[in-house]
C-alpha cells in the first residue's frame, strides 16, 4: 500500500488520536528517514528524542540481532542477565541507589507518584494520611496516564478526563517565591523537568532549582527530576540536572534509553526505594532482556570517549547557526536550548514551517504553537546542521512579510 492508501485506511480503523505528517516512513539510515518513493528526510525530530543513535546503528543492530535470537522476553518472576547490570550503570551515573524498569515515560511518572505516596505513608503517624501532595510546574509535560496527566500542565490534555487523581498542585515555573508559598506540610514531592520539553524547551533557572532543592531539604520532601526528554545524553551530559547543584531523590528516564524499544526507569535513593516492597508495583514487560541489553549498549556508546563532548559541541554550533539566521530573519525571536535539545521561537505560528521544511527534506517539530523544536539524533555532525539551516533559511525568509505585518521587523 502506498502512503495515500495507508492514510485512507487509518482514517477508518485507528482511534483518531494523532495528526500525522504526510510521510510514509519505510526505512532509516543514520540521521535520515526514507519514504516509500525513496525520498530522504534529514531527521531533526529523532522520533521525539528516542532515536538518539539515529537509525540502523551497527552496534545496536548487532546487539538486537543477537538478543532477539537468544532471549526476547521473560517475566519479572525470573532473573535475566541484563536488568541488574543496567540498574547498576544507571544508578551510578545518576547518583541514585536503585532502579525500577517500566515501559514508557508516563508509566515511570505514575510509578514515581506511587512511590512518593508509599514513602509518605511509611513515614506518617497512624491516622488520616495527608502528606501526599506533589507540586508540579506550569508548562510541564509528564505524560498521559492518569497519575502523570494530573501533573501535566496544559488544560487541554487534562480537562476532558477529569476528575483526575487528587494531590497535584501547580506552581509557576521560575518563581521561587511562589514555590516557597506553595509549600505546606502536606507537600511530599516536587516534580520538575530541568528543561521543559513540550513546554517549549525552557530551561529552569539555577536560582529556582536551588530554591526547590532547599525547600525539599528543609521540609523533608522529595525532589523528582523528570529526565525523560532532557536526559540520557541529550544535553551533552548523561543527565541534565547535573549542570546544577541538585541532588534529586528520584530521577526518571525513558525515550532514548533502549534505542527505540520501549523502556523507562525510575531511579531512586535507597531510603525512598525501600518504600516499595514485593507486590506493591510491577509490570509484565518492563525491564525485559532485549530492552535492557540494548540500553546497556546505548549507555556504552554514549559513554565512549568524546561522544558527549561532541553533542555539546555540535549543539553549540547549531545554536550559533540559528543565531546567525535570527540576525538576518527577525521572524526568529529567540534561540535557546542545551546540547541537542534546541528551540527557535518564532513571532508567528510554526506549523507552516514544519510542513514546508518537510517538503524540502527536513523533519522537525513545533510545540507551543510558535516554538520550532529540534531533537536530532545525537550522532549528527556539523554538516547535518548546515544542511538543516540551508533548508530552514528560505522557508523562514518566506515568513518575513507575515512577521513584518505583526510588527516584529519594526
Ligand atoms: C518530560 C516528559 N515526561 C514524560 C513524558 C511521557 O513519556 P511517554 O510518551 O513515553 O509516555 C514525556 C513525553 O514526551 C516527556 O517529554
What is the rounded CA–CA span in Å between residue 263 and residue 144? Answer: 16
pLDDT: which is higher, 237 or 401: 237
Alpha helices (runs of H) in 19-82, residue ranges in sequence order = 46-49, 58-70
Is residue 62 situated within a structural domain? no
Do 180 and 37 share a structural domain? no
Do 361 and 279 share a structural domain? no
**CA of residue 367 to ligand 1 center, whole Å:** 14
Q: Is the pLDDT of residue 408 over 80?
A: no
What is the rounded CA–CA span in Å between residue 410 and residue 404? Answer: 7
pLDDT tens digits for 177-207?
999 999 999 999 999 999 999 999 999 999 9
**CA of residue 141 to ligand 1 center, whole Å:** 7
Do 79 and 33 share a structural domain? no
Q: Is the pLDDT of residue 409 over 80?
A: no
- Rounded to two decimals, the pTM is 0.97
The CATH number of residue 38's host domain is 3.90.1150.10
Is residue 231 situated within a structural domain? yes
Mean pLDDT of 252-270: 98
Q: Is the pLDDT of residue 68 over 50?
A: yes
Average pLDDT value over all residues in the chain: 96
67 within ligand 1 shell (Cβ under 6 A): no
Do 176 and 81 share a structural domain? yes
The residue out of 276, 302, 328 marking a domain boundary is 302
Q: Is 129 a catalytic residue?
A: no
Do 232 and 311 share a structural domain? no
Q: How far is CA 321 from CA 84, 342, 344, 398, in A?
A: 42, 12, 11, 18
Atom of ligand 1 nearest to the CA of 255: 10
Q: Residue 2 has what pLDDT? A: 95
Do 292 and 165 share a structural domain? yes
Residue 394 is placed in which grid cell?
528560505
pLDDT tens digits for 149-167?
999 999 999 999 999 999 9
Q: Is the sign of the CA dihedral 133, 139, 142, 146 positive or negative?
A: positive
> 204 in helix, strand or coil?
coil
What is the rounded CA–CA span in Å between residue 134 and residue 151? Answer: 8
Do 181 and 315 share a structural domain? no
Task: Calculate the dihedral angle through the C-alpha atoms of 229, 164, 115, 178, rounding to the nearest 10 degrees.
Answer: 70
The residue out of 251, 267, 302 marking a domain boundary is 302
Beta-strand ranges (E) seen in 69-115 are 98-102
Q: In sequence order, what are the beta bridge partners of 171? A: 137
Is the CB of residue 392 less than 8 Å from the CB of residue 75? no
Atom of ligand 1 nearest to the CA of 252: 3
Please tell me which residue in 110, 226, 249, 338 is annotated as part of the active site.
226
Do 281 and 161 share a structural domain? yes
Do 225 and 130 share a structural domain? yes
Is residue 392 situated within a structural domain? yes
> 260 in helix, strand or coil?
coil
Of 329, 263, 242, 211, which is closest to residue 52 (Cα–Cα)? 263
Q: Is 110 a catalytic residue?
A: no
Do 277 and 142 share a structural domain? yes
Q: Residue 407 has what pLDDT? A: 64
Q: What percent of the chain has pLDDT over 70?
A: 98
Is the CB of residue 36 less than 8 Å from the CB of residue 23? no
Do 76 and 154 share a structural domain? yes
What is the rounded CA–CA span in Å between residue 198 and residue 13? Answer: 28
pLDDT tens digits for 317-374?
999 999 999 999 999 999 999 999 999 999 999 999 999 999 999 999 999 999 999 9
Q: Is 244 a catalytic residue?
A: no
Is residue 63 situated within a structural domain? no
Is residue 152 situated within a structural domain? yes
140 within ligand 1 shell (Cβ under 6 A): no
Is residue 245 situated within a structural domain? yes
The residue out of 302, 331, 352 marking a domain boundary is 302
Is residue 410 situated within a structural domain? no
Is the CB of residue 341 less than 8 Å from the CB of residue 197? yes
**Cell numbers 520539553 correspond to what residue?**
197
Q: Across the chain, how many H-helices and E-strands are there?
A: 15, 17
pLDDT tens digits for 294-315?
999 999 999 999 999 999 999 9
User: Counting beta carbons within 10 angstroms of the beta carbon of residue 34, is it exposed (0 to 12), middle (13 to 18) or buried (19 or more)?
Assistant: middle
Give helix 307-328 / helix 382-397 axis angle, nearest 10°.
Answer: 20
Is residue 373 situated within a structural domain? yes
What is the rounded CA–CA span in Å between residue 232 and residue 230? Answer: 7
Do 131 and 81 share a structural domain? yes
Q: What percent of the chain has pLDDT over 90?
A: 94
* Containing structural domain, residue 52: 3-56+306-405
341-346 vs 332-338, strand pairing mode: antiparallel
Q: Residue 403 has what pLDDT? A: 67
Counting the structural domains of the chain, the total is 2
Q: Residue 410 has what pLDDT? A: 44
Q: Is the pLDDT of residue 250 over 80?
A: yes
User: Counting beta carbons within 10 angstroms of the beta carbon of residue 187, is it exposed (0 to 12), middle (13 to 18) or buried (19 or more)?
Assistant: buried
**CA of residue 55 to ligand 1 center, whole Å:** 21
**CA of residue 33 to ligand 1 center, whole Å:** 23
198 within ligand 1 shell (Cβ under 6 A): yes
Of 379, 391, 387, which is closest to residue 55 (Cα–Cα)? 379
Q: Is the pLDDT of residue 286 over 70?
A: yes
Is the CB of residue 224 less than 8 Å from the CB of residue 191? yes
The CATH number of residue 217's host domain is 3.40.640.10
Q: Is the pLDDT of residue 94 over 90?
A: yes
Amino acid at each position: 500500500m502506498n502512503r495515500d492508501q495507508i492514510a485512507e485506511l487509518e482514517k477508518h480503523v485507528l482511534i483518531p488520536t494523532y495528526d500525522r505528517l504526510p510521510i510514509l516512513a519505510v526505512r532509516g539510515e543514520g540521521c535520515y528517514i526514507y519514504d516509500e518513493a525513496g525520498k530522504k528526510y534529514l531527521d531533526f525530530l529523532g522520533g521525539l528524542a528516542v532515536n538518539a543513535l539515529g537509525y540502523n546503528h551497527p552496534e545496536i543492530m548487532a546487539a538486537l540481532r543477537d538478543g532477539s535470537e537468544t532471549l526476547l522476553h521473560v517475566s519479572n518472576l525470573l532473573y535475566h542477565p541484563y536488568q541488574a547490570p543496567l540498574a547498576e550503570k544507571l544508578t551510578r551515573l545518576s547518583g541514585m541507589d536503585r532502579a525500577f524498569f517500566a515501559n514508557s515515560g508516563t508509566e515511570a511518572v505514575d510509578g514515581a507518584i506511587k512511590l512518593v505516596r508509599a514513602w509518605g505513608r511509611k513515614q506518617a503517624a497512624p491516622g488520616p494520611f495527608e502528606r501526599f501532595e506533589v507540586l508540579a510546574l506550569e508548562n510541564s509535560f509528564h505524560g498521559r496516564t492518569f497519575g502523570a496527566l494530573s501533573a501535566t500542565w496544559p488544560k487541554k490534555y487534562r480537562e476532558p478526563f477529569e476528575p483526575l487523581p487528587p494531590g497535584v498542585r501547580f506552581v509557576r515555573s521560575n518563581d521561587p517565591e511562589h514555590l516557597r508559598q506553595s509549600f505546606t506540610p502536606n507537600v511530599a514531592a516536587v516534580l520538575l523537568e530541568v528543561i521543559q520539553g513540550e513546554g517549549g524547551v525552557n530551561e529552569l533557572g539555577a536560582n529556582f532549582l536551588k530554591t526547590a532543592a532547599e525547600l525539599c531539604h528543609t521540609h523533608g520532601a522529595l525532589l523528582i527530576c523528570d529526565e525523560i526528554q532532557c536526559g540520557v545524553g541529550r544535553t551533552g551530559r548523561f543527565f541534565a540536572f547535573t549542570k546544577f547543584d541538585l541532588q534529586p531523590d528520584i530521577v526518571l528516564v525513558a525515550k532514548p534509553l533502549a534505542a527505540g524499544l520501549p523502556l523507562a526507569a525510575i531511579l531512586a535513593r535507597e531510603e525512598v526505594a525501600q518504600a516499595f516492597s514485593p507486590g506493591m508495583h510491577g509490570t509484565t514487560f518492563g525491564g525485559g532482556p532485549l530492552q535492557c541489553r540494548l540500553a546497556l549498549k546505548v549507555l556504552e556508546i554514549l559513554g565512549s570517549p568524546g561522544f558527549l563532548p561532541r553533542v555539546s559541541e555540535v549543539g553549540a554550533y547549531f545554536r550559533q547557526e540559528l543565531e546567525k539566521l535570527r540576525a538576518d530573519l527577525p521572524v526568529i525571536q529567540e534561540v535557546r536550548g542545551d546540547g541537542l535539545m534546541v528551540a527557535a521561537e518564532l513571532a508567528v505560528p510554526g506549523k507552516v514551517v514544519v510542513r514546508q521544511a518537510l517538503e524540502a527534506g527536513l523533519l522537525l517539530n513545533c510545540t507551543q504553537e510558535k516554538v520550532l523544536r529540534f531533537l536530532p539524533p545525537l550522532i549528527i555532525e556539523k554538516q547535518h546542521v548546515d544542511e538543516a539551516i540551508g533548508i530552514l533559511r528560505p522557508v523562514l525568509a518566506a515568513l518575513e512579510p507575515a512577521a513584518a505585518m505583526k510588527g516584529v521587523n519594526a
